[in-house]
Amino acid sequence: MKVVFASSEIYPFAKTGGLADISGSLPKEIAKKGIKVFGFMPLYKTVDIEKHKIKPINVYIDVFLNGRTYTFEVYKLIDNVTFFFLKNDELFGRDYLYGTPEGDYSDNDVRFGAFSYAVMEFIKKEELNPDIIHVNDWQTSLIPVLTYYKYNWHHVRTVLTIHNLAYQGIFDKFAIERLNLEWDLFHMEALEFYDKVNFLKGGIVFSSAITTVSPTYAKEILKPEYGFGLDGLLRKYENKLYGIINGIDYNIWNPETDKYIYENYCEYTIEKKFINKKLFLKETNLEGEEKPLFIFIGRLAHQKGIDLIKDSIEELSKLPINLAILGSGDKEYNDFFESIKGKYENIFIKVGYD
């Protein structure tokens, strides 16, 4: 069996959140089963090709989109999984993956639409002949649409994993033309979503199966309060919806070997965990080893609940605790947390990615 795994971010090459973690670990676990796996990701400006030994393979893919041709140069890395990186500096040679703190890139439909076409064209050109194409979140959700509707690969099964339903890839209706699609896809049973184009909706409709990051989340997104406008559609396709709990890569998340912590420890030396706490407090200039230490690491966005921390920061500063916050995201939250850095002796703040 052969599986193509497409994701907009894969750890350790590019990461903004949990999507990258699972996209880095799951293909490796699938490969351990004796399945041939091909991973695909855009080659962003931020990817360190020297560090990861990513090499060009003298293959070029042309994609005609938005009235012009976009050429992708293909790079490759062979581990126990073969990873392909598609390079187009006009689309992906930018400082951020999806947008600046001021907002998303306005041409994200063309960026990830072109990437999706390039994946399909490379599969065809190199005759990879996958049995399954596994896509992730809205950025690659056009691939099931193309597989079924544009390329007519009805023998290929597609799997869409929804990591975060809140982000759907919604664009104006004329994205249909920019993406070189037909207007007969613009209706409520396909890509149309309140007179706009919704990438994730297309993935839900045209994929063979849908998975989410846990059985609980699979149930939650069927409800209006968690469905972000797609709960009705998901209830319609509930027969192909599965909740599979995310795992972690114990080669990375292992306190016995983790090179990023101060002191390694295991279940028999659990007391060394306190050494890590002491040294972390020293590094962040927080005092009070006896105090509970709370840590938030994540995207500074309303959807993550960061507004709850923002609105209660004064009360948190008065509690007998220490709090460390690390993250970046929406400009209003970046600006707020930058403005209060150093204001509270029991709260450490770092706006950025580390």
| pLDDT score recorded for residue 102 | 84
Query: Most distant CA pair in the chain: distance in Å?
Result: 64
Tokens of 241: 């919806």
Tokens of 335: 């600006």
The residue assigned the tokens 């091909």 is 38
> What span, in angstroms and rounded, lies between the C-alpha atoms of 232 and 165?
13
User: Which residues, other chains included, contact 145 with Cβ-Cβ below 8 Å and sequence gap of 6+?
Assistant: 181, 185, 190, 191, 202, 203, 205, 206
Which of 298, 296, 353, 301 is closest to 46 using CA atoms?
353
Which of 50, 128, 118, 45 is closest to 82 using CA atoms?
128
| pLDDT score recorded for residue 167 | 94
| pLDDT score recorded for residue 17 | 85
CB 147 within 8 A of CB 120: yes
Q: What string of pLDDT tens digits covers the 354 residues of the chain?
A: 999 999 999 999 999 888 999 999 999 999 999 999 999 999 999 999 999 999 999 999 999 998 899 999 999 999 889 999 999 999 999 999 999 888 899 999 999 999 999 999 999 999 999 999 999 999 999 999 999 999 999 999 999 999 999 999 999 999 999 999 999 999 999 999 999 999 999 999 999 999 999 999 999 999 999 999 999 999 999 999 999 999 888 888 999 999 999 999 999 999 999 999 999 999 999 999 999 999 999 989 888 899 999 999 999 999 999 999 999 988 999 999 999 999 999 999 999 888
Q: What burial class does residue 228 get, using C-beta atoms within 10 Å of its C-beta: 0-12 exposed, 13-18 middle, 19+ buried?
A: middle
Tokens of 327: 């993250």
CB 129 within 8 A of CB 2: yes
2-243 to CATH, choices 3.30.70.270, 3.40.50.10490, 3.40.50.2000, 1.10.1200.10: 3.40.50.2000
| pLDDT score recorded for residue 79 | 85
Tokens of 251: 């080669």
> What span, in angstroms and rounded, lies between the C-alpha atoms of 195 and 173?
6
Using DSSP's 3-state secondary structure scheme, residue 280 falls into helix
Tokens of 186: 């613009």
For the whole model, what pTM was predicted? Answer: 0.90
> What span, in angstroms and rounded, lies between the C-alpha atoms of 29 and 35?
9
DSSP conformational letter for 281: H
Q: Where are the domains of the chain?
A: 2-243, 284-351
